[in-house]
Amino acid sequence: MRGVVRRGGRDVRRPTDGAGIRQWAAAGLLAAAGVLYNDWLLQWWVPTGLDWRDSYVSEAFAVGRPHRMVFNVVELATAAIVLAAAGLAAAAPGRRGWSAAGWGAVAAFGVCSVADVALPMRCAPSQEAGCPVDNVAHTLTSGLVHLFIFASIAAFILAARSATGSGSRAGRWAVWLLPVSMATAIASAGPYVGYPGGQGITQRLHLVTVGVWLCLLAADLPNSPAQPADRSSCSGTANA
């Protein structure tokens, strides 16, 4: 049957026509988001006055910082792209189980990223004396961003191990990516426990892992099966 392949000991139908176009569109959006999410690279060209080794990326769009609107626009555009991609991917026929949960977590990650920009740091703690690092609202939204990106990676790991997610190559790579992403995120929390210094390096490494994850999802989407094929229809049209 045209569009049916054998995966994991069962027949699965790849997305075709409109569904296939939507999956390719979602893949392109995710790849773009993976690059844009690392907008900290702009600090090499945009004079923020921040030392990338000891400053959080969020300090670039803290209240009163020069060029904060540049980073706000990039952050909001990235979140919108992630939300659009997650919506397109989740709408694929037969999307369910851990795979559906994973795309839900990706969408929640996008929503929390918007909140992260809407509730910025009040000042830049690495530059301004007396500026507290623990801005409650921003710390909460950043924590939720971390939570949902980790939840999405974990969900696709489980999807890759389940019957409904046997085609997820991103989920298989995620087994190695998740501990690295979590370790770099935790290592960037030094200032919150009284050990500042170097948090900019570890946070940026964490952001790279998130970008890699979005690109892995993008690479996986066009070839991922959308739903199990009907065996009776396969047997009746095997030579179609």
Instruction: Report the pLDDT value the prediction gives residue 173, as an integer from 0 to 100.
Output: 84
Judge whether 79 and 110 are in contact, CB under 8 Å: yes
Q: What is the pLDDT at residue 16?
A: 54
Buried b (16+ CB within 10 A) or exposed e, 130-147: eeebebeebbebbebbbe
Residue-level pLDDT at 105: 97
Most distant CA pair in the chain, distance: 74
Q: Tell me which residue of 8, 79, 31, 16 sits closest to 240, measured CA to CA.
A: 16
Q: Tens digit of pLDDT per residue, the chain (240 long)?
A: 444 444 444 444 555 566 778 889 999 999 999 999 999 999 999 999 999 899 999 999 999 998 999 999 999 999 999 999 999 998 877 778 888 999 999 999 999 999 999 999 999 999 888 898 888 899 999 999 999 999 999 999 988 887 544 456 777 789 999 999 999 999 999 998 888 889 999 999 999 999 999 999 999 887 665 444 333 333 333 333
Q: What is the pLDDT of residue 17?
A: 62
Q: Which two tokens stand for residue 82?
A: 């992630």
CA gap 28, 31 in Å, rounded:
5
Report which secondary-structure segment, H or E, holds 10: strand 10-13
What per-residue confidence (pLDDT) applies to 163? Answer: 52
User: What are the C-alpha distances in Å from 98 to residues 130, 186, 224, 229?
Assistant: 45, 26, 14, 19
Give, for 6, the enclosing helix (H) or strand (E): strand 4-7
The pLDDT of residue 172: 79
Give the DSSP H or E segment for 27. helix 17-36
pLDDT at 140: 95
